[in-house]
A and B are shown apart, each in its own frame.
Chain A
Amino acid sequence: MTSEGPSAGPGTRGAASGETAPAFDASVAHVARVYDYWLGGKDNFAADRAAGDQAIAAYPDIVFSVRANRAFLARAVRYLAAEAGIRQFLDIGTGIPTANNTHEVAQDVAPPSRIVYVDNDPVVLAHARALLTSMPEGSTSCIDADLRDADTILRQAAAALDFAKPIAVLLMVILQHLDDDDDPYAVVASLMAAVPSGSYLAMTHPASDIAAEEMREMAQRLNKLMAEKVTFRGRAEVTRFFDGLELVEPGMVRVQEWRPNTEAEATSPAALWCGVARKP
């Protein structure tokens, strides 16, 4: 069963005639498509590949970093579903579907798992609605919203998720798109305030203090080429997102150090901090 948030459906972008088409411009690099390019996907265009190559030239390990991020997502969701017993997931910053998407991992452990995907890009959402289809026992749905607008996310997610029961909030490589003026700590706090005790936060964040020179250069290049700007953060700044939560072992670590399954996962280069924490 695939359901949608209350604003989805024919009226999503206004049912009246003469409505404007959603913004989509393949001539400017877009973060979701650049990410798809780094992952070896086929849903990217010349501008995305050019920006992706610029970033690779500054920090060649970015191609391993994005894979390490996906591997962490799979490990974290499996942990949350299998060991923490979580059956509801709020995955913000879905991106273009690839292998091991959140619902596939969660429903592999527990088919009735319910997943809400959130993104603010119309083409990403079209892909998500078409391709991220749930097993019949569970549900997947998609919300068109920006992370800065936690109220909209929470209001629409309530159509698919039961906020009286634990929910895992997933923020995988997305908080770097909020600069300090967006008050990212308040955004995360309001999301976690809305979920009950026993809920979880799982996060990855590009590091400013791992491969620092290369990462700074990559950030500068991406910020020239992409509409969505990036702000990389250090370990202490990323740890602050978990204030009031209990980090599960091994705590706030580099992404390859979080419960790796294989030697390859443990030794992959990646400049990402990550953590999984429980709301007490």
Chain B
Amino acid sequence: MSTDEPRNPLPGDSILPEPSAGPGVLRLLLGTQLRRLRETAGITPEQAGYEIRASRSKISRMEHGRVGFKQRDVADLLTLYGVSDDLSRSGILSLALQANAQGWWSKYGDILPGWFEAYLGLEAAATLIRSFDLQFVHGLFQTQGYARAVTVLGHRSAPADEIDRRVSLRMKRQDLLQASNAPLVWSVMDEAALRRPVGGHQVMLKQLKHLVDVAALPRVTVQIVPFRRGGHAGAGGSFTVLRFGQPDLPDVAYIEQLTSALYLERRADVDQYLEVMNRLSAEALTPIGTIRFLKEVIRDT
């Protein structure tokens, strides 16, 4: 994600206690899902604990995402909760694997704030990423030169090697687009992100050409909201809505701030972001129109 001005997002419950996130968001999502399944099955935490040879409080810790998950425990709980179809079981079990795995980003721990590390975990687990970017080209689509310029803007006093590592982290993140199980990335960007010559003319030109290439990827959709459409639904600022394959997992809205981020999963909150995202997608140029538009901007740049 691009660094951006602090914003005033809509009020709502954050699913994360402030910056202490870690890769725990997946655990939290998994725990939430296990709790729902247990309650639907009418099973008490004591009964669930007995099933996996553990205490009531262990179940509680699992359901609050505070501990890791053993595959065998999750499998036994699913059986106890009456989840028998293979699709649901394998979805939850693979989530449990991912929740335990250390992310590729763990070696960037020194420069990675916890609140953003959590985002990387969610991004890697999502099946659909919908984002609106107001100021900067979406982080997954940035060229090295552009990413460097954005990073320098956000960390003016950082030593050169730290800048290098930050840029390398952002580039590494883009491996997601080439993965065999790549999520769909559906990005809406304001024209401002194309017109602001971050890093200078040559860097921007290269970035715009890269955007045309990225937009042609089968798992990527790019839509631009041109200035000529006047004021638009996303005036409040950049945000991302992440969707997961498991039917029970809620969408998560991610709103980045200067020194932290909001993760919203309560339906009433997420719905507001989803509604704005839908409006933006309908107001923006179509994907094909966007490619034509990008080529025009490249000619003007």
Instruction: Tell me the A residues contacting B by CB distance below 8 Å.
Output: 2-4, 8-12, 15-19, 21-22, 24, 26, 40, 42-43, 45-46, 122-123, 125-127, 129-131, 133
Contact = CB atoms under 8 A, between A and B. Distances in A.
A38 to B, nearest CB: 13
A24 B278 contact: yes
A26 B169 CA distance: 38
A130 B287 contact: yes
A130 B186 CA distance: 7
A22 B283 CA distance: 7
B289 interface: yes
Contacts of B268: 46
Interface stretch (B28-36, B70-78, B153-161, B223-231): B223-231
B286 A8 contact: yes
A129 B184 CA distance: 13
A4 B282 contact: no
Given A9-B289, A45-B275, A133-B218, A126 B281 contact: yes
Interface residues of B, number: 32
Contacts of A131: 184, 186, 221
B279 interface: yes
B66 interface: no
B61 interface: no
Given A26-B271, A130-B223, A17 B228 contact: yes
Interface in B278-301: 278-279, 281-289, 292-293
A123 B281 CA distance: 7
A45 B277 CA distance: 13
A252 B268 CA distance: 43
Nearest to B280: A126
Contacts of B229: 17, 19, 21
Nearest to B222: A130
B148 interface: no
Nearest to B128: A131
Contact of A10 (B226, B275, B279): B226
